[in-house]
Amino acid sequence: MNSSTEADHGAASSDDAAVAGAPEKASAAVPGPPAPAGRGVPKWRRTLRPYLLIVPALLLTGGILYPFGLGLYYTVFDFAASKPQPDFVGLENYRRIFTDSSFWDSAWVTVLYAVGAAAVETVLGVAVALLLHRSTLVGRVLEKVLILPLMIAPVIAAIIWKLMLQPSVGVVNYLLRPFGLGGVQWTDTPTGALLSSIAVDVWVYTPFVAILALAGLRSLPTSPFEAAAVDGAGWWFTFRKLTMPMLWPYVLVAVIFRFMDSLKVFDIIYALTEGGPGDSTVVLQIRAYLEAIRFQRYSFGLSYMIVLWAVVYLAAMVLVRYLGRIQNRAAEVPK
């Protein structure tokens, strides 16, 4: 009796041991996690890989900095077609620029053009965006048509408008003739030439501002406007207190792009007026072209370009800092 009990107990112990050992065998049979992909890669390749990834960025940076540095180097000489052996002149080219009255005239025309074009495009772009924000069939159709001016090269648009603004055969004067406004010399007077250039710029780039403003309008939260509607707030109050404060960061981005681009405008003005009549529409970019290409004073023209670069850089830095403050204010982030 005792022996059978002991035998049964021994068999049970052996079964328990077999059961206890089963997970170990099972776990030993299950394969472990796969080895990392980089384990088979040589160490020198893993070390070199991050540097290879930044090669395109370095090449792009070098492609930008090399011609800039070369142009900056040429400005301290007096390279010109009439002087094959240039001399080192230091900052003499910059001194000549800032003491030349034509530079200040061109700078004034550049500022007038940039401020006028950016201001008109901003106002019209926001107005168009507000109209297109209404979900109507006409708005959806106009939204598709809006990008057509952006698909035309600015120089081509300027040539088209130059033909349309012709005093005798232009379509603009033909349409205005019934109102007693035919025969206007649009580009033959200093004021008319500048305003016509700004008008062409507005026609080409207002859709750009409108598209950015429309994207901003569609990204605004709806709860503040619903609460204002429940409280009985009018359209002007809602626009002034809710829409514009929240939309202003998007609008300012468009202003920065357009103001920077207008400061270095060349194609529209040169194709429309070639800087005339006289020097009334000669902006800094055209002045640099005339000095370097037409008059073949290469170092002097490059000095104009360096000055223009400095102006654009400083203006961009100020506007970007202001944009950061506006974004913080719109997001209610403390300074």
Tell me how far CA of residue 238 lies from CA of 222, 225, 229, in angstroms: 12, 7, 9
Dig out the tokens for 77 from the structure. Answer: 């000489």
Angle at 142 between CA 251 and CA 155, to 5 degrees: 70
Dig out the tokens for 134 from the structure. Answer: 């209404």
Give the model's pLDDT for residue 331.
Answer: 66
Give the model's pLDDT for residue 272.
Answer: 94
Q: Which of 258, 242, 245 is nearest to 209 (CA)?
A: 258
Give the model's pLDDT for residue 39.
Answer: 59
Give, as one character, the DSSP assignment of residue 184.
Answer: -
Give the model's pLDDT for residue 203.
Answer: 94
Give the model's pLDDT for residue 221.
Answer: 87
Whether 267 and 158 have beta carbons less than 8 Å apart is answered as: yes
Beta-bridge mates of residue 88: 77
| Series of mean pLDDT values for 10-residue runs along the chain (335 residues) | 47 46 46 54 83 90 92 92 88 94 94 95 92 76 80 92 89 86 84 94 93 90 85 84 87 92 93 90 94 92 93 91 79 49
Give the model's pLDDT for residue 210.
Answer: 92
Give, as one character, the DSSP assignment of residue 84.
Answer: S
The DSSP-derived string for 13-26 is HHHHHHHHHHHHHH
Type and span of the H or E element at 218: helix 190-219
Query: Residues near 126 by Cβ (< 8 Å), separated by ≥ 6?
Result: 209, 210, 213, 247, 251
Give the model's pLDDT for residue 31.
Answer: 53
Give the model's pLDDT for residue 18.
Answer: 44
Dig out the tokens for 251 from the structure. Answer: 């609008």
Q: Which of 296, 314, 291, 309 is nearest to 97 (CA)?
A: 291
CA pair distance 327, 223, nearest whole angstrom: 20
Give how far the C-alpha of residue 307 lies from the chain's centroid of Cα atoms, to the nearest Å. 21
Whether 102 and 279 have beta carbons less than 8 Å apart is answered as: yes
Give the model's pLDDT for residue 332.
Answer: 59
Q: Specify whether the backbone of 268 is left (phi greater than 0), alpha (psi in -120 to 50) or beta.
A: alpha
Give the model's pLDDT for residue 36.
Answer: 52
